[in-house]
């Protein structure tokens, strides 16, 4: 017998109401949505579907990380660390220097090989140690290089995300591509110059004492940022590093833009000690190999707060504060591909998608109504609700809708009525076999269910695999396809069945209009 428990009926009605409620923000202006977000509670539906780069225009950047540079820097750091450890343990050696993907150490005595190998291993646990006579080598194998690459890419994506989000860009797409590339898509942004400038800086901040003896061992000469052609010798070893900063904000001092910053507890103590010991000496602030400013230390600075001044414009001070808050990139990022999609092209894609969806919808409901009469009307209503469910879920999940995603929606429209076609055809067969109306409908749903589940489940598995291994447009297609499969199962089985049960009880027909 066609019986639906009360809880299922309530579930269907609530789901339909919520689907239309969460669809509503997509059909009002952005100003209205912004007003709703400010005045309505958080649980109220105020979000709309996020449009991808191909639908609203924007900028596409592909960045390449210098992984080889990271490996080289890592080997140089190992050499620097190992020298101190070798001296501390009184191990004499002839030379130590970086080699390709590793470090080579030549000892005075073969007896020290074991102890020297342990020192190299302590410097970096990913090194594979090989000893032959007085020569000890620590080399990164394939696993070690992959670990460095994964670590570098993870840190880079995190820093890029912070920098982009700090600019107020809405719904950016930032993801890894391949071994050493990062995809950055900025929907709605057609002039990415500021973003490119921010992403092009490593933002490695260090503080050094200015060398009073000029050039020599332990001294490096760097250019002045705001004084072209001018250089300044500084002590090579930094006294403080930017990773000790906890906050940085642009502000003004004597009417000029500056950057104020705060240090963590360790940084505050070190800064206090350094400034106390070097009163009346110049102190250089270095960012990405350039000296931003080199003021004279007038007194000890012990509060954990200080400022960076350097003839900044308001925008430069704001960007520097942003970079310092977001943190330093572990390596340089080079833009290897750049594309801009104009808003007019994006709007054309939206209109084309709307037309394709509307035409598909009209053709499907026309076919269903011609083929199945009143039952086709019920299937068409369920299809309309299915569309609302898809849009509502995309809005709730804040999934990004792309042009391939619209193709996925159009495809699921056909699949949504496919379940009804199977059910209705089975009901026809049962009517021809002489069953009663209720028996035919019960049997039709029961016998068609296995085929419906099999067809949708296999398609859902394909959608999940596409999402797992695909990128970009393929992910967009798989998202809407998978959501559409789930919602079509609900609308075609539960909603259509509920409408049929209500109609049967209200009309008590002698025959089925199918």
Q: What is the pTM of this model?
A: 0.63
- Give the Å distances, CA to CA, from 239 to 123, 270, 323: 21, 8, 20
* Separation CA 95–CA 314 (nearest Å): 50
- Give the model's pLDDT for residue 344: 63
Residue ranges per domain, the chain? Answer: 6-57+342-507, 205-321
pLDDT of residue 103: 93
CA–CA separation, 263 vs 308, rounded Å?
13
The pLDDT of residue 338: 86
> Contact at 8 Å (CB) between 240 and 274?
yes
Looking up tokens 């900063």, which residue turns up?
245
**How distant, in Å, are the alpha carbons of 344, 349, 366, 467 from that of 357?**
20, 12, 14, 23
Tell me the C-alpha distance between 327 and 172, whole Å. 19
38-44 long-range contacts, CB within 8 A, separation 24+:
none
CA distance readout (Å), 164 to 180, 294, 318: 19, 29, 14
Q: Across the strands, what pairs with 335?
A: 63
Q: Cα–Cα distance between 191 and 341 in angstroms, integer?
A: 10
Looking at 40-105, list the stretches that DSSP marks H as alpha helix, in order from N- to C-terminal side.
53-56, 67-88
What is the distance between the alpha carbons of residues 202 and 200, in angstroms, rounded to a whole number? 7
Name the nearest CA neighbour of 415 among 473, 454, 369: 454
Contact yes or no for 394/486 (Cβ under 8 A): no
Q: Is 205-321 the same fold as 6-57+342-507? A: no
232 within 8 A of 294, measured Cβ to Cβ: yes
Separation of alpha carbons 349 and 450, rounded Å: 38
Confidence (pLDDT) at 441: 86
- Going by CATH, does the domain composed of 205-321 fall within 3.40.50.720? no
Residues 322, 167 contacting (CB under 8 angstroms): yes
* In contact, 426 and 502? CB cutoff 8 Å: no
CA dihedral 393, 394, 396, 398 (to 10 degrees): 160
Q: Return d(Cα 337, Cα 103) in angstroms, integer.
A: 34
Return the pLDDT at 346: 64
**Helices and strands: H and E segment counts in the chain:** 14, 19
Long-range contacts: 151-155, Cβ < 8 Å, 24+? 151/330, 152/65, 152/67, 152/70, 152/330, 152/331, 153/65, 153/179, 153/180, 153/182, 155/329, 155/330
Provide the token pair at 213. 């003896």
Burial state string for 476-490 with b = 16 or more CB within 10 A and e = fewer than 16: bbbbbbbbbbebbbb
Q: Half-sphere exposure (CA, 13 Å, Cβ side) for 278? A: 21
Q: For each of the chain's 514 residues, which pLDDT tens digit applies?
A: 467 888 888 999 999 999 999 988 888 887 888 788 778 777 778 888 877 777 777 888 899 999 999 999 889 888 888 888 898 889 999 999 999 899 999 999 988 999 999 998 888 888 999 998 999 999 999 999 999 999 899 988 988 888 888 777 767 888 898 889 999 888 877 667 878 888 877 878 888 888 877 777 778 899 988 788 889 999 888 888 887 888 888 999 888 898 888 888 888 888 898 888 888 888 888 888 888 888 888 888 888 888 887 778 888 888 888 888 877 788 888 999 888 777 666 677 778 878 888 888 899 899 999 988 899 999 999 999 999 999 999 888 887 788 888 888 888 888 888 888 888 999 888 888 888 888 888 888 888 888 888 888 998 999 999 888 877 678 888 888 999 998 988 888 889 989 988 888 888 888 887 7
Q: Which fold has domain 6-57+342-507?
A: Multidrug efflux transporter AcrB transmembrane fold (1.20.1640)
Spatial separation of the C-alpha atoms in residues 369 and 417, rounded to whole Å: 11
Element (H, E) at 284: strand 283-287
- Residue at token pair 């990415």: 192
Determine the pLDDT at residue 63. 92
Instruction: Supply the pLDDT for residue 472.
Output: 67
């Amino acid at each position: 017998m066609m019986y639906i428990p009360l809880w299922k009926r309530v579930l269907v009605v609530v789901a339909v109401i919520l689907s239309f409620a969460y669809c509503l923000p997509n059909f009002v202006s952005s100003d209205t949505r912004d007003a709703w977000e400010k005045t309505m509670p958080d649980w109220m539906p105020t979000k709309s579907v996020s449009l991808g780069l191909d639908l609203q225009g924007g900028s596409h950047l592909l960045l390449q990380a210098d992984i080889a540079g990271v490996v080289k820097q890592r080997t140089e750091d190992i050499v620097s660390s190992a020298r101190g450890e070798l001296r501390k343990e009184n191990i004499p050696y002839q030379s130590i220097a970086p080699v390709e993907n590793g470090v080579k150490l030549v000892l005075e005595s073969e007896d020290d090989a074991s102890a020297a190998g342990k020192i190299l291993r302590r410097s970096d646990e990913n090194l594979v140690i090989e000893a032959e006579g007085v020569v000890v080598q620590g080399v990164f194998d394939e696993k070690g290089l992959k670990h460095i690459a994964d670590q570098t890419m993870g840190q880079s994506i995190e820093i890029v995300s912070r920098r982009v989000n700090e600019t107020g860009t809405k719904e950016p797409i930032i993801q890894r591509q391949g071994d050493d590339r990062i995809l950055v898509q900025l929907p709605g942004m057609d002039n990415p110059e500021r973003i490119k400038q921010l992403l092009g800086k490593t933002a490695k901040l260090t503080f050094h004492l200015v060398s009073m003896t000029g050039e020599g061992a332990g001294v490096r000469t760097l250019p002045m940022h705001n004084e072209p052609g001018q250089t300044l010798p500084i002590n090579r070893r930094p006294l403080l590093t930017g990773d000790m900063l906890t906050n940085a904000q642009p502000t003004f001092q004597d009417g000029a833009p500056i950057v104020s910053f705060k240090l963590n507890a360790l940084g505050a103590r070190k800064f206090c000690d350094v400034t106390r010991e070097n009163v009346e000496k110049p102190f250089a602030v270095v960012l990405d190999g350039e000296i931003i400013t080199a003021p004279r230390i007038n007194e000890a600075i012990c509060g954990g707060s200080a400022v960076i001044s350097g003839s900044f414009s308001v925008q430069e001070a704001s960007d520097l504060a942003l970079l310092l808050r977001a943190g330093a990139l572990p390596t340089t990022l080079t833009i290897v591909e750049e594309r801009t999609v104009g808003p007019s092209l994006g709007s054309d894609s939206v209109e084309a998608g709307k037309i394709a969806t509307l035409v598909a919808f009209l053709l499907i409901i026309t076919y269903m109504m011609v083929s199945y009469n009143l039952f086709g009307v019920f299937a068409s209503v369920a299809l309309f609700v299915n569309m609302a469910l898809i849009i509502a879920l995309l809005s709730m999940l804040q999934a990004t809708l792309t042009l391939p995603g619209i193709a996925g929606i159009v495809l699921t429209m056909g699949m949504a009525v496919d379940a009804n076609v199977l059910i209705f055809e089975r009901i026809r067969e049962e009517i021809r076999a002489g069953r009663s109306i209720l028996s035919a409908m019960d049997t039709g749903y029961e016998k068609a269910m296995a085929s419906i589940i099999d067809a949708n489940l296999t398609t859902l598995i394909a959608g999940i695999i596409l999402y797992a291994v695909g990128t970009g447009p393929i992910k967009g297609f798989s998202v809407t396809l998978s959501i559409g499969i789930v919602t079509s199962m609900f609308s075609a089985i539960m909603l259509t069945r509920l409408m049929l049960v209500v109609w049967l009880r209200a009309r008590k027909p002698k025959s089925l209009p199918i």
